[in-house]
Structure 1
Amino acid sequence: MSITEGPPMEPEGSSKKATRHQGHVDEVENQSGIPPATGAVPNPPIDLRHGGLHRGLSARQVSMIAIAGTIGTGLFLGTGRSLAQGGPASMLICYGIVGAIVYVTLLLLGEMATQYPVAGSFNAYAIRFFSPAYGFALSWNYWFNDAVSVASDLTAAQLVLQFWTTWHPWVISLVFWVFLVCVNATHVKAYGELEYWLSSLKVITVIVFIILGIAVNLGANREHEYIGARYWHIDGAPFVGGFGGFARVFVTASFAYGGTESLGITAGETKNPSRNMPRVVKFVFWRILLFYILSIALIGLNVPWSYPGLSNKTTTTSPFTIVFREAGSNVAASFMNTVILTSVLSAGNHALFAGTRVLYGLSVAKPAAQAPAIFSWTTAAGVPVPALLATSSISALCFGSSFIGSGTLWGWLQNIVGVSNQIAWLSIGLASWRFRTAWVKQGRPLDQMKFRAAWTWPWGPPFVVVTVSALILIQGWSSVFPRFSPVDFVSFYIEIPVMSLMFLGWIILKQVVCTAELDTSPPVLPATSTTPLLRRKYQWKLHDIVDTSTVDLQRDEYEEGEIDKADDEEREKRLHGRAGLLWRVYYWVA
């Protein structure tokens, strides 16, 4: 039985400035000089029975979705790998740097997602404002990132299970895989509600961990001794592995923070996005940054980088579980491990949802779809089932852990996903740079922007582009020096040549199609000449960078409807009523 929440979204009124229908992503401006390719995959007609995605996610759910995508395996398990490879000081510094970069990136994304809340999010913005060819490569890369993230989370489930037993760990991965596919095959509201409660459990657990971690450090541990900064001064600490170990932590930190950018992917299914997206952007990352920095500081104080089994070929132990065990209770450690297992489930759920929406967005891109039309089909409840099945199938990679070791496989997948997250942040910076340039060049007043992070003007986009580019280049240092490791090097840098080939492939394919069309089209007679008919010529280009002076800045701008206005009025009544203070606390927490 399908769950529905109102009819599929259709355009409201006769306005040409905005559309409420999310069955198609932005129609990309053809600014590259390339004629529309009629031979490309056409956009499928909208089936009235399956009218695209539904706006079924509330601000409460969207906020928790952003948290769920970051407080997961990266924090609970990835910190163990970071501590073992870089030491406590490297971990604290690198997570702080990456956190600052991601916060600025989230603000830049918030500006575009609030103005144009469409399916596809930053992938669509890269196509629209920067380059369709680059957007094509980025979208497929990010879809693969989400699909691999599901495999990574299922592999992490095997690592967590080793705390109790080593009996056929792949079974838990199979059970989780089936459960995640079933949840995502229902209405988007079911996905949002599951994420909300799982994320709430994780937030509560992190708060408990912070309190317990302080107590353990002060003496409430098995030895009843004050720990302080003792583990910062043991052999090899606080910087383990020199510069190579320090640089290597950047990719694990990027893996941990990854998922924040997919906040924009939910824009196409968020109620009242012009109000809710800015609220989410302003508050959610401060909570994440608070949880991460405090948790990481306490991990570095309470767990030595040389702790047995912290991170090796066959296993990775969560520092959270170690701290709970040091508190003197194996029961508490088992509870913590159970929470980590649910967080793995939540992170996989989030990645599967995001990857499905990215593939759907590719299939409905204009003027030419960038994925087969089958992936644009949705159920009456607004679920793109073919895209869901294609994304979930990649998670079969997790079963490779039976042959090469769960710890090793998870490390490789973590590197790939971390670099892909960085490419996504870089692309948000590029799209925002071009978007802001177009807005100013076309003379639109800044006060017409529905949300503007004023303090990031004009340095925000170049800051993100430069810093993320530096991270991508230096973090693989340990794979080259002092000894070259081919496998590690590939996991750090494989996505750069792959994206470059996809970019060039799209450019060449589009122009080959256009050239063939001109060669077979009827000759053209000059307007003021009696000479014979002439054959049109086509000039090849090596790029398709969008012209910021002509890109349409009004199409797909969101216009508030009656439901949105009623939602705002209800919120204002609550905030200014007798229980206004309690409602403010609720909105901040929930």
Structure 2
Amino acid sequence: MNSSSEVKTEKSIADMSSSSISNIKSGVTTCNSNESRTSTSGGIWNNFVDSFKPAIPEETLTSMNIDDNRELTDIERINYNSANSNLKRKLKTRHLQMISIGSSIGSGLLVGSGGALKTGGPAGVMIGWIVMASCVYATMQGLGELAVTFPISGGFNVYASRFLEPAIGFAIGWNYFMQFFVLLPLELVACSITIKYWNKDINSDVFVIIFWLAIVFITLLGVKGYGESEFIFSLIKVVAILGFIILGIVLICGGGPNHHFVGGKIWRNPGPFAYGFKGVATTFVTAAFSYGGTEMIGLTAAETANPRKTLPKAIKQVFWRIALFYIISLTLVCTLVAYNDDRLIGASSVDATASPFVIAIVNGGIKGLPSVMNAVILVAVLSVGNASVYATSRSLNSLSEQGMAPKWTGYVDRAGRPLAAIAITNIFGLFALIASSNQQVNAFNWLLALSGLSSVFTWLAINCSHIRFRRAMKVQGRSLNELPYVAQSGVWGSYYGAILNVLVLIAQFWIALFPIDTPPNANDFFLSYLGFPVLLASWLFYKLWKGDWTLFIRAKDIDVDAGRANVDLDLLQQEMAEERAKIAEKSFIIRCYRFWC
């Protein structure tokens, strides 16, 4: 690894070859622990106040003269800034593992699945969630390979910029920002509506303010506060889902208070499908929405203490989360709740009383537990609101670092908080005060439409970024042995994920153009598909702004070194060989466990 003195003896970046620039940047990344040098002798209050001051760059960064002779190109600036972020590496293994397991258990699964059940039927729900689960698994494997190799600020939107081309990174980054930017006030409204389950006379705005203050407090604690809060939230959700799985099996077998044996009656009457193939097609986007947030692991890479050790474990947890918390729980829900139940409403609803999980418990004749499940839904939507601030603030900070957003929005303080981005997100969260308004549904529907299909676009960008990265490695004669983590599904998994995501976009276009039980109309079409023209407009705006009409970066020109987690490849390969040798000595069961976990 390059020391500070060695860096100072190098020529300016302007005179260096692309490979030497990459190596120096990589060295800076690994030695930069992002621990700002703040005084500890001024007392608790003074230290707290000082923590809001601008982050102090590391000496290795300030010694580099990047303005001599020429300016960096856009892609060089993106690679350099994203590799040298002032974010702090404070997320631990337990944080990442619990975030990976419970981060996306929210209203999409607990409430939105009811709308999918209504239009797709039980078989449609299972097909939609299983197919999208395979897509998510393959996509997260590709993301894991990129994130472990390049644990940089911004994650997947930076990968799109550097492995595809900057305009795509610009469009994906802003679309992802909008998705969670709008989601914060939506989740706050969902919290206030969930409270009404116990008392309908309460003014919704009162609890909007209470939950908003709670999220503001958590976000001001920094990344460690986010990690600890998500650890607790996710633990509650995981325990609740496990409890529901046990309860669901008991109810199906007739062990509930009413002793009604359910079996497979609902699958026979009213039947497995609600609206045939079109109904099944509607479940894919709802499933994608429920899996949304899985990719957030990529955003944590720049704030993870030991990316090479912790990220692979977190990525592998995706398989178990999909299998256990989604597929099994939804199988039970589809067996306990009929698709023609009048209590089921639209997939975009935030009303917890429409949750098929709650309806299943009510149908079982169990008193008291519906309130417990609603409390879990409250925790889930509060968790998603908290995660929304994390996602939007890190996305906006990354866009600023790449020169794709105003520079001031990338302000990072000495505690490693992207303070300006956090403030912008939290202030917009007060939009949730329209919770008591009669126009809240229309307002949120159109806001959500702006970033509709964002998860699918993001996953598609991850798939394509991984494919182009592998292509660049091959063209440049680089070996996969250099990578600290190799995707279990390989590059073909990314091809599979990309094809499936494109098919989902086509299916959604069909449903948007010819909605179920409604004649074709512009309102429904743009509510379902406005996200695509917005994404296209973002890409075109960047092209016009920069005047660069390059459609993609050639494989031979892609930088596969900048931001690398490990500079000494020989040492890395030696460590990995030792780890493989130790695992090979273990029993078959242990080897299987280490492969999947």
TM-score by length of 2: 0.79
Matched with 1:241 is: 275
Matched with 1:257 is: 291
Judge which range, 152-161 or 14-23, deviates more.
Answer: 14-23
- Structure 1 residues 411 and 373: CA distance shift in structure 2, 3 A: closer
In structure 1, runs of 5+ residues without a counterpart are 1-9, 28-34, 512-540
**Paired residue type of 2:562:** R
**Paired residue type of 1:177:** W
- Report 1:529-568 matches (<5 A): 542-559=549-566
Matched with 2:251 is: 216
Instruction: Write the deviation string for residues 425-477 of structure 1: whole angstroms up to 9, x where unpaired.
Output: 011011111111101100001111111125423x2222222210110121243
- Report 1:131-146 matches (<5 A): 131-146=165-180
Matched with 2:107 is: 73
Matched with 2:238 is: 203
Q: Determine the C-alpha separation between the residues in 2 that align with 1:39 and 1:280.
A: 32
Matched with 2:88 is: 54
Matched with 1:527 is: none
**Paired residue type of 1:498:** V
Matched with 1:493 is: 529
Q: Determine the C-alpha separation between the residues in 2 that align with 1:213 and 1:495.
A: 37
- Report 1:362-441 matches (<5 A): 362-365=399-402, 369-404=403-438, 419-441=453-475
- Report 1:345-360 matches (<5 A): 345-360=382-397
Q: Determine the C-alpha separation between the residues in 2 that align with 1:406 and 1:80.
A: 21
- Structure 1 residues 242 and 179: CA distance shift in structure 2, 3 A: same
Matched with 1:163 is: 197
2:306 is the alignment partner of 1:272 = yes
- Structure 1 residues 306 and 208: CA distance shift in structure 2, 3 A: same
- Structure 1 residues 304 and 11: CA distance shift in structure 2, 3 A: farther
**Paired residue type of 1:195:** E
SS at match of 1:383: coil
Match of 1:468 among 494, 497, 501: 501
Instruction: Write the deviation string for residues 123-156 of structure 1: whole angstroms up to 9, x where unpaired.
Output: 0000001010111111111111111222332232
2:339 is the alignment partner of 1:323 = no
In structure 2, runs of 5+ residues without a counterpart are 8-22, 35-54, 62-69
Q: Determine the C-alpha separation between the residues in 2 that align with 1:586 and 1:200.
A: 22
RMSD value, Cα: 3.6
Instruction: Write the deviation string for residues 336-379 of structure 1: whole angstroms up to 9, x where unpaired.
Output: 111111111111111210111010011111xxx11111122122
Q: Determine the C-alpha separation between the residues in 2 that align with 1:279 and 1:307.
A: 40
Instruction: Write the deviation string for residues 11-55 of structure 1: whole angstroms up to 9, x where unpaired.
Output: 79746133134799xx9xxxxxxx969999x99x99xxx971100
Matched with 1:479 is: 512
- Structure 1 residues 451 and 62: CA distance shift in structure 2, 3 A: same
**Paired residue type of 1:224:** H
- Structure 1 residues 148 and 162: CA distance shift in structure 2, 3 A: same
Matched with 2:133 is: 99
- Does the Cα contact within 8 Å between 2:104 and 2:292 map onto a contact in 1? yes
Matched with 2:15 is: none
Deviation at 1:414, TM superposition (A): 6.5
Match of 1:114 among 148, 153, 168: 148
- Does the Cα contact within 8 Å between 2:106 and 2:384 map onto a contact in 1? yes
- Structure 1 residues 585 and 416: CA distance shift in structure 2, 3 A: farther
**Paired residue type of 1:359:** L
Deviation at 1:409, TM superposition (A): 6.6
Judge which range, 177-186 or 263-272, deviates more.
Answer: 177-186
Q: Determine the C-alpha separation between the residues in 2 that align with 1:211 and 1:13.
A: 60
Deviation at 1:211, TM superposition (A): 0.5
Q: Determine the C-alpha separation between the residues in 2 that align with 1:39 and 1:85.
A: 46
**Paired residue type of 2:235:** S
Match of 1:510 among 538, 546, 562: 546
Q: Determine the C-alpha separation between the residues in 2 that align with 1:90 and 1:363.
A: 42
Matched with 1:185 is: 220
TM-score by length of 1: 0.80
**Paired residue type of 2:213:** V
- Does the Cα contact within 8 Å between 1:149 and 1:348 map onto a contact in 2? yes
- Structure 1 residues 429 and 560: CA distance shift in structure 2, 3 A: same
**Paired residue type of 2:565:** Y
**Paired residue type of 1:150:** L
Q: Determine the C-alpha separation between the residues in 2 that align with 1:496 and 1:199.
A: 32
SS at match of 2:262: coil
Judge which range, 169-178 or 193-202, deviates more.
Answer: 169-178
Q: Determine the C-alpha separation between the residues in 2 that align with 1:172 and 1:444.
A: 55
- Does the Cα contact within 8 Å between 1:139 and 1:362 map onto a contact in 2? yes
Deviation at 1:234, TM superposition (A): 2.6
**Paired residue type of 1:234:** N
- Between the aligned residues of both structures, percent identity stands at 33
- Structure 1 residues 178 and 488: CA distance shift in structure 2, 3 A: farther
- Does the Cα contact within 8 Å between 2:100 and 2:317 map onto a contact in 1? no
Instruction: Write the deviation string for residues 208-248 of structure 1: whole angstroms up to 9, x where unpaired.
Output: 1000000001112343111111112234x321123332211
Q: Determine the C-alpha separation between the residues in 2 that align with 1:586 and 1:429.
A: 26
2:351 is the alignment partner of 1:344 = no
- Does the Cα contact within 8 Å between 1:105 and 1:428 map onto a contact in 2? yes
SS at match of 2:555: coil
- Structure 1 residues 584 and 417: CA distance shift in structure 2, 3 A: farther
Q: Determine the C-alpha separation between the residues in 2 that align with 1:413 and 1:75.
A: 21
Q: Determine the C-alpha separation between the residues in 1 that align with 2:312 and 2:87.
A: 21
- Does the Cα contact within 8 Å between 1:120 and 1:361 map onto a contact in 2? yes
Deviation at 1:299, TM superposition (A): 0.3
Equivalenced residues, count: 522
Q: Determine the C-alpha separation between the residues in 1 that align with 2:89 and 2:316.
A: 21
- Does the Cα contact within 8 Å between 1:106 and 1:281 map onto a contact in 2? yes
Deviation at 1:169, TM superposition (A): 2.4
- Structure 1 residues 353 and 588: CA distance shift in structure 2, 3 A: farther
Structure with greater helix percent: 2
Q: Determine the C-alpha separation between the residues in 1 that align with 2:312 and 2:474.
A: 21
Deviation at 1:173, TM superposition (A): 2.5
